[in-house]
């Protein structure tokens, strides 16, 4: 099962639910892509693939600059994981792969 695809995602943040579209483009054990949502567009940096688990970083600029550390596991078309936002802690991440 490939992790490739476009996922409709929700991050449960202190500022409420942040919806977005996560694009995952794997290349062996790495991947590239982006997360486009209510806080703008963030490119994925250092994306890695291990089985059905993906890990990556994103540089957020709005509402404040910070690096987000993200990890998610993909089971069928369901994505679950977390976004670690430094001092704000880990925020739950969920999503569904689009057909």
Q: In CATH, what number is assigned to the domain containing residue 73?
A: 2.40.128.120
Summarize pLDDT for 41-84 with one digit per residue, the tens. Answer: 999 999 999 999 999 999 988 788 999 999 999 999 999 999 99
Summarize pLDDT for 15-27 with one digit per residue, the tens. Answer: 899 999 999 999 9
Q: What is the CA radius of gyration of the chain?
A: 12
- The boundaries of the domain holding residue 50 are 3-95
User: Is pTM, for the whole model, over 0.85?
Assistant: yes
Count of domains for the chain: 1
């Amino acid at each position: 099962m490939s992790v490739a695809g476009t996922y409709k995602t929700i991050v449960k943040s202190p500022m409420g639910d942040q919806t977005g579209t996560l694009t995952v483009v794997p290349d062996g054990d790495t991947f590239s892509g982006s997360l486009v949502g209510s806080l703008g567009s963030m490119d994925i940096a250092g994306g890695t693939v291990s089985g059905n688990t993906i890990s990556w970083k994103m540089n957020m600029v709005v509402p404040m600059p910070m690096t987000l550390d993200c990890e998610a596991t993909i089971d069928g078309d369901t994505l679950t994981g977390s976004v670690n936002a430094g001092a704000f802690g880990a925020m739950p991440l969920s999503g569904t792969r689009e057909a």
